[in-house]
Amino acid sequence: MASPAASKHVVCLCRDCLAEFDHDIRQCPACGSSRIIFHPELGQLSTAHIDCDAFYAAIEKRDNPELIDKPVLVGGGKRGVVSTACYVARKFGPRSAMPMFKALKMCPHAVVIKPNMAKYAEASRLVRAIFDSVTPVVEPLSLDEAFLDLAGTATLFQRSPAATLAYVAREIERQVRITVSIGLSYNKFLAKIASDLDKPRGFAVIGKADAVARLHDMPITKIPGVGPSLADRLKVDGLFTIADLQAKSEEELTIRYGETGAHLARRARGEDSRAIHNDRESKSVSSETTFDTDVSDAAELRRLLWLQAERVSERLKKNALAGHTVVLKLKTSRFKLVTRSRRLQAPTQLAEMIFRTSEGLLIKEAKGTRYRLIGVGADDLCEAALADPPDLLNDGPRHHAGVEKAMDAVRAKFGRTAIKKGRAVPTK
């Protein structure tokens, strides 16, 4: 029987009708499909990586059905390399980044198509809209792949993240008419590894219990950041596969390769503590000004900083955003860029908070150096609803929010310059 929706005990899923089960099955009793996923941890995993299959070629095939069964190479142009080969062509050897002449030697009957970036970007937008419909936490890596954090979506959709992913794949096939491969795990590294395991039209799962074993036989180059030169260095030391790394302790690898060694040791054990960052979060709102003549006077720098903080706050409020990190930017008369940042306890959209935080950073830098530019930014953006929570012990934010609201109201009525804080007024 299908288990109750969003049950923690989901171990099996029908990729066609999205029915979930608490036991292993071969064929879906609900729809008869044999596209079944089984994994003991299926109901508990929520970190996904989704990658479109032979992306450019898939779109070309979609738009010209005569190409469906033919080997297709997208690329050529000035650089004369293959951008992608469809799965029919890959059987003969061609791969991305291969010189086109070489690919055509391997597969002389291939159809070569020049890339049409506008078309791929449009398809990418449609795919992205489907991702956005299931979670606010989407981190795209390129036009055709993204990480999705589906934690917390089970209650909303009354189905496991795994079932929501099967839904996403189905919607992409229906709306964009291309296929994707899904990797589901408990961190980004493993989710990305997984999405590549079962291509095309795949769905692979890596859980906590099987991560080390799944990584075991993979070449070390599967670990992002291990390029040809590092791989060569590791080979000299007899390290070829992830199993070779697993056999060494983190200490051993750190002594030999420094921070890189520690990183390799962690990845080899399936460890990755990076969070999925929404690309909207990673944008920032900032404002800066370049002076007519260099300024070294701390009081004057403070005044100029306040004006920028007010601007940033104004833009945050207008866009219903708040920043979790405040960034101070200075450029010296010799064009040296200085940036300092501080993460706040809670996101803010208040000019007062942005100013006080950046002022704290400025004090250390305003010791006589002549500057030609000052700026301030709010980073790690989130929705305004999360900003400046009332703090029971400290009434500061609420008080400032009240003052700023009153000032904003006066400005809305009488114009931007109608009201100023004392610190905005030049001292001389």
Residue 110 interacts with which of ligand TTP, Mg ion, none, CB < 5 to 8 Å by class = none
Task: Write out the residues near ligand TTP by the rule CB under 6 A.
Answer: 51-56, 83-84, 96-97, 144-145, 199-200
Adjacent-strand bridge partners of 146: 50, 140
Owner of token pair 């993204």: 146
Q: How far is the CB of 112 from Mg ion (least distance, A)?
A: 19
Work out what residue 301 binds among ligand TTP, Mg ion, none; the CB cut-off runs from 5 to 8 Å by kind: none
Q: Is the N-terminal amide bond of 389 cis, ω within 30° of 0?
A: no
Nearer to Mg ion, 117 or 213 (CB): 117
Tell which residue, 280, 258, 262, 286, has the closest CA to residue 272.
Answer: 262
Of 350, 352, 342, whose CA–CA distance to 380 is shortest? 342
Give yes or no for a contact between 7 and 22, defined as CB atoms under 8 angstroms apart. yes
* Binding window for Mg ion (CB under 5 A); candidates: 103-111, 138-146, 214-222, 274-282: 138-146
Closer Cβ to ligand TTP, 145 or 310, answer by number = 145
CB of 53 or CB of 139, closer to ligand TTP: 53
**Cβ of residue 103: shortest distance to ligand TTP, in angstroms?**
12
CB 122 to ligand TTP: min, Å: 14
By a kind-dependent CB cut-off of 5 to 8 A, residue 199 interacts, out of Mg ion, ligand TTP, none, with: ligand TTP
Per DSSP, the residues of 62-81 read HH-GGGTTS-EEEEETTTTE
Minimum CB separation of residue 83 from ligand TTP in Å reads 3
Among the listed ranges 144-152, 182-190, 282-290, 392-400, the one in contact with Mg ion (CB under 5 A) is: 144-152
Nearest-angstrom CA–CA distance, 392 and 395: 7
Could you say which of ligand TTP, Mg ion, none residue 286 binds, taking C-beta under 5 to 8 angstroms by partner kind?
Answer: none
Radius of gyration of the chain (CA): 27
Nearer Cβ to ligand TTP (171/196): 196
Q: Considering CB distances under 5 to 8 angstroms, the limit depending on partner class, which of Mg ion, ligand TTP, none binds residue 281?
A: none
Joined tokens for residue 115: 């890339």
How open is the CA angle 247-252-257, to the nearest 5 degrees?
110
In the complex, the smallest distance separating the C-beta of residue 195 from ligand TTP, rounded to whole angstroms, is 8
Polymer length in residues for the chain: 428
How far, in Å, CA of 421 to CA of 269, rounded? 55
Task: Tell me the H-state helices in 13-68.
Answer: 55-63
CB of 59 to ligand TTP, least distance (A): 8
In the list ligand TTP, Mg ion, none, the entry touching 44 (Cβ below 5 to 8 angstroms by class) is none
Amino acid at 93: G
Signed CA dihedral, 284, 287, 289, 294: sign only: negative
Residue 383 three-state SS: strand
Q: Are 342 and 380 in contact (CB under 8 A)?
A: no
Quote the CA–CA distance of 301 and 191 in Å, as a whole number: 47
- Among 20, 41, 51, 139, interactor with Mg ion by CB under 5 A: 51
**Shortest distance, CB of residue 200 to ligand TTP, whole angstroms?**
6
Residue 218 or residue 386: which is nearer to ligand TTP going by CB? 218
Does 144 sit near Mg ion (CB under 5 A)? yes
Active site residues: 145
Span interacting with Mg ion, options 2-10, 48-56, 366-374, 398-406, rule CB under 5 A? 48-56
- Sequence-separated (6 or more) residues with CB below 8 Å from residue 19: 2, 13, 28, 29, 30, 31
Which of Mg ion, ligand TTP, none has residue 56 at its interface (CB below 5 to 8 Å by kind)? Answer: ligand TTP
One residue of 6, 52, 223, 373 binding Mg ion per CB under 5 A: 52
Chain contacts with Mg ion (rule: CB under 5 A):
51-52, 55, 144
